[in-house]
Each structure stands twice: as C-alpha cells, then as structure tokens.
Structure 1
Amino acid sequence: MRGMRLLGMASDGRKQPPWTPPQARPDAQLPRLKIYNSLTRSKEDFVPVDPTGKMVTWYACGPTVYEDAHLGHAKNYVSTDIIRRIIKDYFGFRVKFVMNTTDIDDKIILQGRQQYLLARFKQEHAAEDGSVSDSVLAEAKAAFRHYIGKNLPSLPSDTSPETFSEAVDKAYKEKAEPPPLADAATAQQGQGVTVADLLLRAHIGTARSAAEALQAPGTLPDFFAKTDDVLLPHLDTLHGAEMDSNNHQIYLELTRKFERRFFEDMNALNVLAPDQLTRVTEYVPQIVRFVEKIVANGFGYATPDSSVYFDIDSFEKAGHSYSRLEPWNKNDRALQADGEGSLFKGRSMKRSENHFALWKASKPGEPAWPSPWGHGRPGWHIECSAMASEVIGKTIDIHSGGVDLRFPHHDNELAQSEAYWSTPGCQVQWTNYFIHMGQLRIRGLKMSKSLKNYTTIRTVLSQKEWTARSLRICFLLMPWQDGIEVTDELMKAVVGWEGKLNNFFLKSLDLWKHSRPKTTRQELGIADQQLLSALDKAKADVDTALCDSFNTSAVMRILSDLVTESNSAEALSDQTVILLARWVTRIVTIFGLDPEGDLSNPDRIGWSGLDIPEPAKPYIYPASQLRDKVLTLACSGSVDHVAIAKLADGITIAASTPVVESSQPYDQVLQQFRTNVKALAAQQAPAKDLLALCDQLRDVHLWNLGIYLEDRNNPQPALVRPLDKLLVEARAERESAGAARAKAKLEQEAREAEAEKELRERAKVDPLLMFRTSDEYLEWDENGIPTVDAAGNVVSKNRRKKLVKEWEKQKKRHEEWLATQQAA
C-alpha cells in the first residue's frame, strides 16, 4: 500500500521505521526531480502519492496572526511560493496547496486579552480635554514598577521614573547601549550581539519610554503611546483571569485583522494564495476527535487537570521513532518548553518532561472549547496534524515551514499523525517530503518580534528600498534551504542582476517593435548560431539545476551568463535576440518575478515595470523625438537653426489626449523643452548650448519624473525607459566619484596655496639669520652657516654641504622677495 510500511529493526534491536520512498506506477511519467528532504537530510527522488504522478498534495505551516508579518516571514513564504510555482509551472504537476493560519495560541491569547484590557482601560479613563488624570498616572506608575521588576531585576526595587536612567547606567553599564555592530561573520560565530542583549535593550527601551512619559505626561494620546507596552502586561496581571472563556470574539477580532493584513502582504509580494485555508478555531471538533483516537490507540493520556499529553515512551515502545527531523534536539528542554507555550509553563501534570500537550486545560481568563476531558483548547502541534489529515488524508506529499519548526513542532506533528493513522504492525508515513526554508538573519540573529529586530513587509515595501521583485531576486540568488544574511554585497548582487535583466528586456522589446522579416535558422550568421547553441545548453542546464532540488541560485547564474553572452555578441539577428528574450521571460515568470506574467502567452517579452507611465507617453515620446532630431542637427557641423525651429513648431499632441492632472508634469516638461529649443534657435545659439539643453532634459527634467533617455549610436533613437535602481546607483556612484575628485582638487589647491604662502613667509627671512634662530647650533660663520652644533661638535663636511645648499636657496628666495618689495 502506498504511504504504508512494515516495521523494521534498528541496530540496537529496537523497531525502527526508516523513510520509505514512494513507488511510482510504471506508466507514470515523472521528471528526474530530486528534493532535499529534511526527513533523511539528503536529496531524494520525488514521487507523489498520486498513482498517475500528476497530483501533488502540500501542507504549509502558515503564520500565527497577531502582528504584521516581517521580512523573516517574507523569506519563508516567498521561498515556498517559488518552489510551488516551479513544481506547478515548470514540472507540470497539479498542486493542492493547503495552508493554515494559527488563530488561537498562547501568543494570541496574551495579545488579544491585553489589547482588549488596554482598550477598556483607555475608554474608562478618557478625558474630554485630553489630560492625563491622577488615576491614569497612578496605574502607569504601578505598571512601570511591575515591568522593571519582572524584566530588569538588577535595578533597585525603589527605582523611580526620575532615577531610572541613572539606575540603568549603574546596573547594566555597556549593555544598556548597543556596541558598534559586529560584522555578519563575527555575529554568526556568536561574538556579536546576542539574543539576551537584544531582549535586554528592548526592555530598557520600553521602560525608558514609560519613565519619560511619567515625568512629562503631555497629552493623553502621547502618554499612552509611550506607556502602552508597560500597561499591557500589568493590566493583564490584574484582570486577565476575569475574561469570559467563551468569548472567542476578543481573539478572533485580532486574528482576522492580521490574517487579512498577512494576505495583503503576500499579494504585494506576488505570493500565490493557498488553494485551501484552514483556521484552528474552525477545526476544534476535528481536533478533539483526532486527540481522542490518539488516546484510544494508546499514545496519549489525560491528566487530572483535564489536559491531554502525548506519550512519547509508549510511542517508541510500539516501534515508532520520535524526533526524526532533529534527533539531536530530542532532549532539549528549552525547545520543548518553548513548544508548549508561555501560558502553559510551570503547571504541568504530565508523566514525563519530554511529553507534550495535545489538549490544554484552559485556566481562568483563557478561551475554551468543550471536550471529553473538560473545557480547554488545542495544543500548538496538534492543530496542523488534525487539519492536514482532515483536508488531505493519511499521507501528504510535501510539508513545509521555516527551519525553526523542525523541532519540536514538525517532529511532534509527525509523531501525533503516525500515532493517529497507524495500525498495529503497519505504520503510516504521514509526510513523505519535509522541506524547510532557511531563515533571514540580521547580524547572525534570527529576525524575531520578541527581539524587536525585525522590519515589517509593508514598511519595507513602502520605503522603496526593496521591491517585491528585488526581495524575490534576493531569495532566488541563495539556496532556499539556507539562511540569508542581508549584506551590502548581496544587495549589490540583487541590483546588478535586476538591472541587467531590465536592460536586456528593454532592448529586446525595442527590437521586437522594429524587427525585420524573419530568417530561417540556416540563414543565420555565426554569432546567431553560437548564441542559439548557448540557449540550448542553458535550457539543459536550467533543467538540471531545477531537478537538483530547485537550485535557483544556479539558474540565476545561467540566465545572467546567457544575457551577458547575448550583450557581447555582434551582428545578431533580431529574431535570435527575441527568441532568447522569450525563453528568459518564461523562466522569470515561473519564478514569480512578474505579477503580470502570463505563461499562456509564449510571445511575451520581459516583465512589468519596463514601460513609462501611461499618462506620460503622449508627451514624453514627442519630447524624446524632438530631442533626437535636435541632437542630430546640432552635431551636423553647420547648425540649421531654421530647421530646428520648425521641428519645435511641428511637435503636436493628439487632440484625443486631454491634459489631465496625472499628465500635467509631463506636458510641462514637453512645452518647456519646445520653448527653450525655439529660443535657442532664434538666438542662433551655438551647438554646445543646444547639446546642453538636450542633456538637461535627460539628466534633470525627465530624471526627476522617473524617466531616462538612454542615448544610442546614430541613427538609433534614444531608448525611453523608466528609472531603475541600477541607473540610480550608477549615477550616484558617478556623482560621488565626481564629488570626491572635486574635493580632492580643492584640497590639493588648498595645500598648494598654503605651501606658497609658507614659501612667501620664508622668503622674508634674511639668509644671514636663518640658522641663528635655531637651538641646534652654537657657532656660525660670517654668512650665518653653522660651524658647531649644540653639543659642541664641529659640523661635518657632508652636513655643511647640505646647509650651504639650503642657505643658497634661501638667499635666492630672499633676493627675489626684496626685488618685489622694491618694485612695489
């Protein structure tokens, strides 16, 4: 049976189920695809469970939706999307992609409850005049004391807002402020900023903000903005247990908001939506039944406090293997405790420390659902096992998530699911291929909300430093299973790769618009034949790379090298370049680099963003054409000013093109350029003035509108294109280099002027006196040249020769100075 295996024996005599590769039906047509499988920590042939080899089932661990997604999430879900697209659009599988959102867990309970209590507190203490009342101040002071007592224990117990800064400086010294940033390599070796350092600084920053507000309250909104983070845990401590456990809406309002914002972020990153979305709170009855069966199978037990735990010992005695993904972390108590959740610590009645919760009895103030064991809520790990089993079945082809989920989350999922589906003597292999995405790291540290070392996706995209495409390129350039350290070198590589493809697509599109009649392959020249051969090789190499566990970094190099070869070839036919551009377009579209990509259109070239804005076209193209003609006439030797004036008068805008608000800046540039051209023509201006005007249009007016005119060899017209980061950075580098040269020139001129001034001052000194003012000598001859040094030694012959030369130079300078004085 597919997805089933018989028990084997390990070398220690214990029953050990190895990973069993699925078997394809003989007539199934499968690619030579290998996937790096976390279960075996090696690359395995990919064989889906579907007997026909067409359908692939995939379950992805989705986000815990209580805050906005950050760049670490972008790394995970964009990398997942890239692999999904390759499987679907390159290898041709039909993919059923299921993702969950965790909409109830310890973090959500805390966040939802705290936000509810804070909102209630603010409403109860609202003031019409916006002032901070004594009762609010008193509560905030209590919250401040509670916060520093819990998170900054080295501070004196009587630390007040007024003494906070001084107390922090004494208690934490250099840890209170970040040291100079270590480089990535140092940080990754554990010698840079640590997690403990970041947590400490986050706590100090929160407390400092509250201390400042308590000393100078200001308006109520400003006060709360600075004290919210200390009020949240304080109010929860006071009133959290009072919350109605049946009022799930408190938490759902929070999770629905951030689930919506998460998928908005994913859409902005061009990440495909899941085929099916599961939410924990919508599957609680199924989760209860799932836990019941695990208990019935002998692998779970209830405790007197109405919790249910997974019995790892019974599981292993039955021949199963636990912690298959990260066996080295099997006994890591810190990871196990983190997997149980922050609200579940310190009150366990489980039989062994390594057992984990399937169902958690709810404490007062926590949401609860009915179950055979009492009111409670699902454990973290059980949710995915139950939901994936419900919507996919007993065996999943691919299960994915971040690398940090391998243990304990996915190892516990595996154990639970095999405990649920297996029968005596025959075990189910619940997931055949686990794939885990590497983390995005900052100075060697995982990006984390608790460490406050993260930047949200929407913040990054709004600041324009990164685009959805450049982020995806960044992730494509690195192996998906590896961590990424974002460095200046990596950012330069991203900008360079994207800029190279932009240039290639722009020029290919221009060729396509003006392409000549087709020729047959036999009629093509040597350069065409060589490039077509390179294209054939690139296709084979890309296939090899993608079959090698989706090696996109190799594909990115192949595409870059192919474009470089095309750019360096001479006398290529338009058709060869267009053929090459269409294939490159297909690959980048498969990678998700074009939100407007259409794989059903084989003739498409390039990606979105290569064209100037629509409102600009009726004005910028005429301006560019006028500039081309003015340049030609200005460079013709004898400038025909009459012809230039006629050209400016001949520029017209189609009557059907009204000047709307969005087109006004472009219309103004066109009209101003026409006016300036006509004025120079009327003045019979020299060619250099006309050329300067054309440069001004390109380098100032259009540049400021995000448009660039790329001049090409005559008779080709300038290529009208939008600015991209490569152009902007290249110009910035030129300007920086120019500024550096100008600065160096000014500094050199200043040095020379200072030296000249010094020489002039020195020329005033009479050579008879030049050595007599020095402490180095005791005696001199009649010309003032030293004969005995300060130690009483006679000056040597060699030393005297040098002194005489200096004296003679000074004598000449002094005589020249005297002459200038007499002339004056």
Structure 2
Amino acid sequence: MASDSRKQPRWIAPQAHDVELPKLKIYNSLTRTKDDFIPLDPAGKTVTWYACGPTVYEDAHLGHAKNYVSTDIIRRIMRDYFGFNVKFVMNTTDIDDKIILQARRQYLLARFKQEHAEEEAVSDTVLAEVKAAFLQYVGKNLPSLSGNTSPETFSEEVHKAYKETLQNQSVTVDNLLLRAHIGTAQLAAEALQAPGTAPEFFAKTDDVLLPYLDALHGASIDSNNHDIYLDLSQKFERRFFEDMTALNVLPPDQLTRVTEYVTQVVLFVGKIVANGFGYATADGSVYFDIDAFEKAGHTYCRLEPWNKNDAALLADGEGSLSKGTSMKRSPNHFALWKASKPGEPAWDSPWGRGRPGWHIECSAMASEVIGKTMDLHSGGVDLRFPHHDNELAQSEAYWSTPDCHVQWANYFIHMGQLRIRGLKMSKSLKNYTTIRSVLSGKDWTSRSLRICFLLMPWQDGIEVTDELMKAVVGWEGKLNNFFLKSLDLSKHLRPDAEGQDVGVADQQLLKSLEKAKADVDAALCDSFNTSAVMRTLSDLVTEANSAEKLANDTIISLARWVTRIVTIFGLDPEGDLSNPERIGWSGLDIPGEAKPYIYPASQLRDKVRTLAIGSAIDHEAIAKLADEATVAASTSTDTSEPYSLVLQQFRTNVKGLGVKKASAKDLLALCDQLRDVHLWNVGIYLEDRNSPLPALVRPLDRSLIEARKEQESVATAKAMAKLELEAKEAEKERELRERAKIDPLVMFKTAEYAEWDDSGIPTVDAKGDVVSKNRRKKLVKEWEKQKKLHDEWLVMQKTA
C-alpha cells in the first residue's frame, strides 16, 4: 500500500486472487455501491465477519428479529450456497449507559419493596414516596401541567393542557412519547387514589418510582459492585439467545462481552492516545481527536458523511449518562474511556477509574479476535452513524502508521429496520412487540417471520402490513402444498404415472428448473437478492402445479432442489443439506401421537366414500368396515386422547348409519363432518383427491385457516345480503299492504289540492289553478292503480 494514503481513493479494493471466486457483489455501506466480494484470505475460502450484537437489558423485540434473522440469512448463503468458511464473531454489550440505568433502577426498586415487604397494606410512608415520585415524573415529562397538579386533578389537567395533542392521531415520535408519559402518570395517579394490594399498587407505580429512586440513591451504589449490572445483562443475554434459537438463528462462532475485554480496551485506548489521535481530560476521561485524525490524512465519517455534525445523533452516541458538562475539546469528539461518576461501575485505567465508551468496545474486541483487518462488519442501519463511523475511525487510528493507513473493514452491510406506521421500534415509545410474545401467538411463526424478511431486500426497511402478511401466508401455503404432494408422490408412486416416459410437459418443466437455478444464482450473486429468489421459487412451483401428468422423477427432482434452497435460507430448523434426497421442511407431518388413530380414521372414511358413491350401497359392508378399523398402536397417552376420541366417534357413527341403511347423502355428510369439524378441531385436515388416490392427511397451516376464513366471510356476506334483500322485500310488502287500505276516494284529499271530482281525483290545486290535462292523466293512472289494490284488499278482508 502506498505510503501517502491521501493519494489513494476512498475505497481500496482487496487484492485479486489467483483462485476462482463466486461472482458475488455486495452492497457496501462504505462505498454505497455494489462491490465485487473478494475475501482477504489468499485461498479465497475463509471470510471474517464481526456483527454488532444486542445491548442486553430487556427482551428483544421484532426490530431485533429483523436485524438478526436478515444477518443469519446472509451468513447461511455465504456458508451453504457460496461455500465460504465464515468465521462469525458477535458481541453482546453487557455494560453501557442503558444497562447501568436499568440495572441500578431495578436494584433500588427491589430494595425499596423489600424494605416495605412486611407491611400488610400500602403504608403512608410508601404513599408519600410514590406521590413525590409522581410529581417528579409529571414535572419532568409533562411540563405543560401546572405545578399544583395532584393525582386527583391529573386527568382533568391533562385534558386541558394536551387536548389538541391527544386529539391529533398522527403518528410522530413526540406524540407517542407524550402518550407514553401520560399513560405512565395516569396509572400512578389511579394507584395513589385507590392503592389496593401492594402488588397491584406497585404494578401501576413502578415506572414513576424507578427514575425517582435512582435520582435519590443512584449515586450511592458501589462502583465495584459489578454484579448489579451483570445479573441483569446475563439474564437478558440468555433470553436473547433463547429467542434467536426459536428463530432458527445460528449461534456465533465466537461471542465477546465488553466486561471480559476491559484490559484489552484500556490497551487499545492507550495506543490511540500514543498515536496522537486521543487525549485525556482532567476528569479522567479519554476522547478521540477527530481533528488530529483528519489532519493525518484519514477520512472521518465515511458511512454517513451528511450526519457528521448532527448534534442529536452525536449526543445519542455518547449515551444518556454523558449529558451535561464535558471537558472534550470539540463537540464532535467522542468518548473512548469514560470517567465513572458516583454510582456507575468502574475499572482501573491509567487515566483513573472509569469504563469503556460505547464505540471502543467493538473496535477492541474485533481487533483482538480477528486482527487488524476483517472482511465484513454488520449491524442495523441505525448503527452506521455514529457507532460504526466511530468504530472505523478509532480502529484505523489504532492500526495505521504514518507510512501505512490500514482499512479496518472492507465491507459494511447494514440491515434495514422494521417499522410500525413509519416509526422505528423503540422501548421508550412503547411501540414494540417482543419476539417471545409474537411467537407465542397465532399470527406468526419462526418460519413465517423469516419468509417475511426474505420477501423484502435485506437492506431495506419493512412495514408489516396486511398485504405483506397475506403474501407471507400465500407463499408458505403454496410451498406446503407442493412439498406435501411431492412427499406423497415419493412414498406412493402414482398409478397413472408409473413407468411413464419423460414427456413434453416434463421437458418443459426441467428446462424451467435449469432456468430457475440460473436465476437464483444470479439473484444471490446480486447482493443476496432473496426477494427475487422467492419469486423464482413461487413461479416454479406454480408451473409444476399447473402441469399435467408429470413423471414422478421430474416432480421429485424439482422438490429436492427447492428443498435445498429453503434449507439454505434457514426456513427449516431440521434441515439437512448433507441429505440430497430430502424433500420439504419440518411441520408437514401430523403429530406422532395422532398417527395411530387418524390414519385408520382417514382410511375408513375413504372406503365409506367409495361405497357411498357407488351405484348400490352395501350397508352391511359399511357396518363391517367400522368394526375392522383398528388402532395402529395399542398405547394411549393423554396427548393422544383427542385423536382416539375422533376415531371412536367416527367408527360408531359409521356403524350406526350402516345399520340404519342410511342414504348416500347422509354417509357423505358424515365424512365431510369428520374432515371439516372433528379433525379440523384437532389441527388436522384431509385433502380429498380423485380416486383411486386416498385423502392426503396433513396438519392445518395458516393458508388453510385463512382460506376457510375467507370462505366463511364470503358465505356470511352472502347470507347477510340475502337477509337484507328479504327484509327489503318484506318492507315493500308491508308498505304495499298498508297502502292498499287507503280508499282511492280520499287518497288525494291533501293540502296540495282545493277541489276534486266525484271519484276524488283533483280538479283544482291549492293555488286555485285548474289541474292540467297531463297532470290529470297521471293522477288518473295513480287512482286506477290504487283502486285495484284497494278492491283486492276489500276482497281479502271479506274472505278473512
């Protein structure tokens, strides 16, 4: 590399290799273009990758799922499709301003509750403390309220002070924050007026107590007691990886934690200072000198140069505990080492007791584990500035010399955010949903979430809409159906295809398969364009479904290739790429405890349907079939009982209809009831097929459920429309009957007219004008029509 890096371009491409590399391009945040991927490894095999992990102080939410699942997808493609040996290193931030605040507050709150644990009711002392906490919270977060606000007057005063804001339904950060603060204070106000039991009281007042107790006692916490903070971070680190396992995210090859690398951080900061790019201040902090860095020929803020002087982002990067006075030389200089204030954890350093800055931890740990250069560095898009820009600067300040400026990371990749109504998920805004709560519900599974992220470009943000959810359900349902039929075909050769030669349809589909393989390769080489791959897979399956009388081998070949791709994407936690004959993904089979009962029930149903559809029903044979339907296993457990009951009931019903010599309609209705009600209720569906193929036994999936909802919705709409039509017709009939009661002699005796003839037809209107001939003609027609109605009514009255 040239000695004067200022003469070099901003982007210095890795050296070309003699070995053949995949024609992979990656969208690189450093250049904001798609660059050829050339690993540092001369053999072109090993790829070093450092990923910024979570700050572990609360449960991970869907925004984290988007980041880490997208990262996992790219990692799997690099490893399993392109064949790279990926060394994947990730950190967890187990000490920073958020963790310190959260852990300290939770510790103080637990201590406060413990001090009052023996009190049977909420004491006056506790009420006084919580009232003070309430007033402090309101004063800080709801400044438009008067200083005389009390729990009793809170609701009224909020309505007056924030009426316009509360009526404004626009989704903005300020609006959501205000609503969150009002909600927190409202709960506390309610608790202070009606305390209830201690658990109920604290459940409503914890959020106002936390900052209050910290303001009073936070500074008294022993800075050597690191366990207060590590207990919290270790708990949520464990829960984070449980969530990642549930999402089928591969664990890192190496996990680093900043508290385990404090010595390396101190040495790292020391060298930056020695190189002339950092300085210590009188309070014991150390800051990065951006001015000296740029004067030496380096470029600062390469990822987001337009945000270089963004005060809000700079402040956010320094952390909430760093607000206030600072001794740094320039507002845009950032902390490498923070002097610990009272109540903050601290470690020894040459500059005094302190703790690592946020950005330095990743630079020190990645450099320690990977070295002076790495291939890939990743994280969420919100980390580009200032976090990754600062990482890049301080790492190059550490590794570079006046004669050689080192590029620390060659490719930065940043995952797009998941947003709700246009806003990033945020714990402070309370607009987030945890991964645990999502996966415990019925709307999303690990697979459907991953499909959702695969359908969109990894670097783009995602807004989860009803349309996107429908696309996810449709894509997954299509693949489920295809895999189920392919598996069934591989187990039971289709009679009409056995020994069949490869025909025109097969040749066309095999050509489409080869094209799909080429299209998938091109898409994955194009910066991991998974959305294009998902379209290709969907189109290929659609073509296979629409083709007629395909040879077994054609379908099976296609199914195995599709299986390989979805396995590479991580859509099957049980996926096995070492088995080239595998078809489908997990979840296509019914539960093991169901099989001894459901398969006999399905087989009995198939036979009953065949006999019922025949020209002459053999009722004795049907009754005998019910007796012959035996359980495939003798063991029974609590989990198998629902399935056992389904079989028993169906056998009893079949035998009863056989004895009664029931009609074909009744027999077929019973078979439909088994499929649509009893099996549906235990999560199993029977898909009827043309004879002689038996019904396909399969678990319910979201697409089947949504399809039934749609059918029921359509049926409900039709029923409602019919009822409305009947009601309108009935109303018309009622009005007609009431109208028929009116004698035509008096029907026009209204204020609109002044004179009438002997039949009651108007001759002069109210103004004194003679009714015109045309007008009279129309009135006569109305009169004659009414007379006919009235005469018919009179006849009906006499008959009655």
User: Is the shorter-chain TM-score for this pair beyond 0.5, marking a shared fold?
Assistant: yes
Query: How far has the Cα of 1:210 moved from its partner?
Result: 0.3
Corresponding position of 2:134: 144
Question: Which AA in structure 1 matches 2:15?
Answer: Q
Aligned-CA RMSD value: 1.5
Corresponding position of 2:14: 22
Question: Which AA in structure 2 matches 1:540?
Answer: A
Query: How far has the Cα of 1:386 moved from its partner?
Result: 0.4
TM-score for both structures, normalised by structure 1: 0.96
2:538 to 547, 560, 563: 560
Corresponding position of 1:124: 115
1:744 to 696, 716, 721: 721
1:7 to 4, 9, 14: 4
On the 8 A contact 2:497/2:552 being kept in 1, the answer is no
Unaligned runs of 5+ in 1: 10-14, 180-191
2:148 to 158, 162, 166: 158
1:776-795 alpha-carbon deviations (Å, 9 max, x no partner): 22222221112223333332
Q: Go from structure 1 to structure 2 and tell me whether the alpha carbon gap of 1:219 and 1:609 turns closer, same or farther (over 3 Å shift).
A: same
1:299 matches 2:277: yes
1:127-179 alpha-carbon deviations (Å, 9 max, x no partner): 353x1011110100000001001111111111000000001001111323662
Unaligned runs of 5+ in 2: none
Helix, strand or coil at the partner of 1:386: helix
Q: Go from structure 1 to structure 2 and tell me whether the alpha carbon gap of 1:814 and 1:658 turns closer, same or farther (over 3 Å shift).
A: same
1:14-42 alpha-carbon deviations (Å, 9 max, x no partner): x675111101321x120000000000000
1:195 matches 2:185: no
Helix, strand or coil at the partner of 1:49: coil
Distance of 1:487 and 1:197 partners within structure 2: 22
Where do residues 217-256 of structure 1 align in structure 2 (5 Å cutoff)?
217-256=195-234
2:746 to 747, 754, 769: 769
Q: What's the % identity of the aligned pairs? A: 79
Question: Which AA in structure 1 matches 2:245?
Answer: N
Query: How far has the Cα of 1:201 moved from its partner?
Result: 0.6
Distance of 1:194 and 1:365 partners within structure 2: 34
Question: Which AA in structure 1 matches 2:679?
Answer: L
Helix, strand or coil at the partner of 2:594: helix
Distance of 1:614 and 1:486 partners within structure 2: 35
Helix, strand or coil at the partner of 1:425: coil
Distance of 1:516 and 1:673 partners within structure 2: 28
Q: Go from structure 1 to structure 2 and tell me whether the alpha carbon gap of 1:7 and 1:365 turns closer, same or farther (over 3 Å shift).
A: same
1:503-547 alpha-carbon deviations (Å, 9 max, x no partner): 000000000001369999994100000000000000000000000
Corresponding position of 1:580: 558
Distance of 2:338 and 2:591 partners within structure 1: 56
1:643 to 603, 612, 621: 621
1:667 to 644, 657, 680: 644
Corresponding position of 1:184: none
Distance of 2:614 and 2:773 partners within structure 1: 71
Distance of 1:391 and 1:140 partners within structure 2: 48
On the 8 A contact 1:17/1:319 being kept in 2, the answer is no
1:720 matches 2:697: yes
Question: Which AA in structure 2 matches 1:739?
Answer: T
Question: Which AA in structure 1 matches 2:759?
Answer: N
Q: Go from structure 1 to structure 2 and tell me whether the alpha carbon gap of 1:510 and 1:53 turns closer, same or farther (over 3 Å shift).
A: same
Q: Which range is displaced more, 743-752 or 163-172?
A: 743-752
Helix, strand or coil at the partner of 1:65: coil
1:587-626 alpha-carbon deviations (Å, 9 max, x no partner): 0000000000000000000000000000000000000000
1:86 to 54, 77, 82: 77
On the 8 A contact 1:545/1:551 being kept in 2, the answer is yes
2:157 to 137, 156, 167: 167
Query: How far has the Cα of 1:234 moved from its partner?
Result: 0.2
Q: Go from structure 1 to structure 2 and tell me whether the alpha carbon gap of 1:509 and 1:249 turns closer, same or farther (over 3 Å shift).
A: same
1:596 matches 2:586: no
Where do residues 610-625 of structure 1 align in structure 2 (5 Å cutoff)?
610-625=588-603
2:778 to 797, 802, 805: 802
Question: Which AA in structure 2 matches 1:701?
Answer: H
Where do residues 408-419 of structure 1 align in structure 2 (5 Å cutoff)?
408-419=386-397
Corresponding position of 1:97: 88
1:631-690 alpha-carbon deviations (Å, 9 max, x no partner): 111111221101101111111124x53111111110110010000000011111111111
Helix, strand or coil at the partner of 2:379: strand
Helix, strand or coil at the partner of 1:56: strand
Distance of 2:454 and 2:776 partners within structure 1: 73
Corresponding position of 1:77: 68
Helix, strand or coil at the partner of 2:490: helix
Question: Which AA in structure 2 matches 1:114?
Answer: R
Query: How far has the Cα of 1:465 moved from its partner?
Result: 1.1
On the 8 A contact 1:177/1:201 being kept in 2, the answer is no
Corresponding position of 2:248: 270
Distance of 1:570 and 1:363 partners within structure 2: 75
Q: Go from structure 1 to structure 2 and tell me whether the alpha carbon gap of 1:631 and 1:812 turns closer, same or farther (over 3 Å shift).
A: same
1:633 to 611, 631, 636: 611
Distance of 1:518 and 1:481 partners within structure 2: 48
Query: How far has the Cα of 1:775 moved from its partner?
Result: 2.6
Distance of 1:698 and 1:708 partners within structure 2: 6
Corresponding position of 1:533: 511
Distance of 2:765 and 2:48 partners within structure 1: 96
Distance of 2:278 and 2:131 partners within structure 1: 47
Question: Which AA in structure 2 matches 1:141?
Answer: K
1:798-819 alpha-carbon deviations (Å, 9 max, x no partner): 2222221111110000000000
In the alignment of these two chains, the number of paired residues is 800
Corresponding position of 2:348: 370
Question: Which AA in structure 1 matches 2:109?
Answer: L
Question: Which AA in structure 2 matches 1:66?
Answer: Y
Corresponding position of 2:48: 57
Helix, strand or coil at the partner of 2:791: helix
Question: Which AA in structure 2 matches 1:225?
Answer: A
On the 8 A contact 2:56/2:92 being kept in 1, the answer is yes
Distance of 2:650 and 2:417 partners within structure 1: 51
Q: Go from structure 1 to structure 2 and tell me whether the alpha carbon gap of 1:120 and 1:45 turns closer, same or farther (over 3 Å shift).
A: same
Distance of 1:5 and 1:502 partners within structure 2: 57
Helix, strand or coil at the partner of 2:690: coil
Corresponding position of 1:188: none
Distance of 1:411 and 1:44 partners within structure 2: 19
Distance of 2:425 and 2:689 partners within structure 1: 45
Distance of 1:796 and 1:518 partners within structure 2: 83
Q: Go from structure 1 to structure 2 and tell me whether the alpha carbon gap of 1:517 and 1:284 turns closer, same or farther (over 3 Å shift).
A: farther
On the 8 A contact 2:92/2:237 being kept in 1, the answer is yes
On the 8 A contact 1:518/1:575 being kept in 2, the answer is no
Question: Which AA in structure 1 matches 2:34?
Answer: K
Corresponding position of 1:813: 789
Question: Which AA in structure 2 matches 1:211?
Answer: A
Question: Which AA in structure 2 matches 1:103?
Answer: D
1:207 matches 2:185: yes
1:168-210 alpha-carbon deviations (Å, 9 max, x no partner): 001111323662xxxxxxxxxxxx4110111111100000000
2:307 to 310, 329, 343: 329
1:785 matches 2:764: no
Q: Go from structure 1 to structure 2 and tell me whether the alpha carbon gap of 1:92 and 1:156 turns closer, same or farther (over 3 Å shift).
A: same
Q: Go from structure 1 to structure 2 and tell me whether the alpha carbon gap of 1:673 and 1:178 turns closer, same or farther (over 3 Å shift).
A: farther
Helix, strand or coil at the partner of 1:278: strand
Q: Which range is displaced more, 747-756 or 416-425?
A: 747-756
1:569-597 alpha-carbon deviations (Å, 9 max, x no partner): 01101110010000000000000000000
Question: Which AA in structure 1 matches 2:740?
Answer: A
Query: How far has the Cα of 1:8 moved from its partner?
Result: 4.6
Q: Which range is displaced more, 738-747 or 102-111?
A: 738-747
Distance of 1:809 and 1:714 partners within structure 2: 62
Where do residues 276-291 of structure 1 align in structure 2 (5 Å cutoff)?
276-291=254-269
TM-score for both structures, normalised by structure 2: 0.99
